[in-house]
Amino acid sequence: MIQPPGTPSSRRRRHDREIIALAVPAFGALVAEPLFVMVDSAIVGHLGTPQLAGLAVAAALLTTAVSIFVFLAYATTAAVARRVGAGDLASAIRQGMDGIWLALLLGVAVIALTLPLAPWLTEVFGASSTAAPHAITYLRISSLGIPAMLVVMAATGVLRGLQDTRTPLYVAIGGFAANAALNAGLVYGAGLGIAGSAWGTVIAQLAMAAAYLAVVVRGARRHGASLRPDAAGIRACAQAGAPLLVRTLSLRAVLLIATAVAARLGDTDIAAHQIILSLWSLMAFALDAIAIAGQAIIGRYLGADDAQGAREACRRMVEWGIASGVVLGILIVLTRPLFVPLFTSDTAVRDALLPALLVVAATQPIAGVVFVLDGVLMGAGDGPYLAWAMLVTLAVFAPAALLVPTLGGGLGALWCAMALMMIVRMATLWLRTRSGKWLVTGATR
């Protein structure tokens, strides 16, 4: 075991510098992603209500399809970071290329399913007869950009593993600007309507993928790494990602159950729930940035056979997560009179919002610990445990949430169930990190 040099204070400062250097650009890139949909919504919204409704349905489908494959970024980050820690950059980039090839294969498969199933999918998601044609058009065209979106995910994982979160930020900013310009030009300038918005987004996504590939290919040539697809390597990436897929699907199930329960509580509660969920997601971006830093830093320490350094980095990132959660919780309470009116002027919705909002504020420090430990265990390549832990969490949350309407509870009770979900996640993740079983060192797990 390598003992990190310097005093405990100097090592903490070094960890702080590493966390800030990786987390701040990662936060910028994360925030840039949802801006794509916001720009599309703003531009398409002026075409008419049916077009905007169609976009809403198609965007929900696309977001769900792509978010399922977020393991392409997570698993790739951990695997590449380990090899970086071991000093084998050629192998690190080779591992990243396997992830990119897997992304391409999955993207093509998604297109093959989406094109013929688009009408059925929009119907299942409840598109009205007037919105459905626009949803189908947008979904079919936008699906052509899914391989590029998945390549961006995998390539982002490569760069994060290489301890580079600045390049993803620059690419995200460039992609956002290109998407806005293309959408405006194609929707209004070329008169293509909602199809123009879809094509603009696809072109922007292809440009982002090309930018990422140029960076990765340049690195591969510099270090003599092969760019050809390797069946064994692609299979290994898929196997490493499978547990994280289970984790992601379980988490999506939690959010879907919460939304379904809120809908059963009535229009007022579901409207308030949507506002809180949007806010909760925004807070998650800040905390997820620290988790992304954790994935890269922990993977590198373990790859360098430095278990002590990984422990210290984990401890410091947990402190960052708690502090960030406290700050976010206080901000929610203090700024509530400012942001709530931006979402709704309905007094009933505001009244339903308040108890649940206080629960969200109170649980932000817990969320900070959860996000950080999630990132730490991902960086350690501990996917099977993360899958098991999320399934346990789902098993606890589902009955608690489904009992809310039966027992006459309101939105506050539902978000108490969400708080329970976060507490269970924190408990399972804390037990694992405390056990030390995640501290598996070496270039591969």
Sign of the C-alpha dihedral computed for residues 207, 153, 31 and 379 taken in this order? negative
What per-residue confidence (pLDDT) applies to 383?
Answer: 93
Q: What is the pLDDT of residue 1?
A: 42
* pLDDT of the residue at 275: 80
Q: Determine the Cα–Cα distance for residues 104 and 101; give it in Å rounded to an integer.
A: 5
CA 183/CA 404 separation, integer angstroms: 43
pTM summary value: 0.86
> Which regions of the chain are under pLDDT 50?
1-4
Distance between CA 306 and CA 445 in Å, rounded?
Answer: 14
98 closest CA partner among 72, 71, 78: 72
Q: Output the six-digit token pair for 85.
A: 């820690």
pLDDT in tens, 138-159: 999 999 999 999 999 999 999 9
DSSP string, 231-246: HHHHHHHHHHHHHHHH
Cβ–Cβ under 8 Å, residues 366 and 423: yes
Secondary structure element (H or E) that encloses residue 344, with its range: none
Say if residues 290 and 165 touch (Cβ distance below 8 Å). no
Please state the length of the chain: 445
pLDDT at 33: 67
Give 317: exposed, middle or buried? Use CB within 10 Å, 0-12, 13-18, 19+: buried
- Which of left, alpha, beta for 20 (phi over 0: left; psi -120 to 50: alpha)? alpha
Condensed to tens digits (0 to 9), the pLDDT of residues 263-318 reads 888 878 877 887 888 788 878 888 889 999 999 999 999 999 999 999 999 999 99
| CB neighbour class for 157 (10 Å; exposed up to 12, middle 13-18, buried from 19) | buried
> Which pLDDT score is estimated for 5?
55
Distance CA 201, CA 252 (A): 24
Residue 326 to residues 197, 262, 287, Cα–Cα distance (Å): 40, 27, 11
User: How confident is the model at residue 331, as a pLDDT?
Assistant: 92
In what helix (H) or strand (E) does residue 377 lie, and over which residues does it extend? helix 364-379
pLDDT at 6: 63
Neighbours of 269 (CB within 10 A): 24
Quick check: 344 and 42 in contact, CB under 8 A?
no
Dihedral class, residue 191 (left if φ above 0, else alpha if ψ from -120 to 50, else beta): left
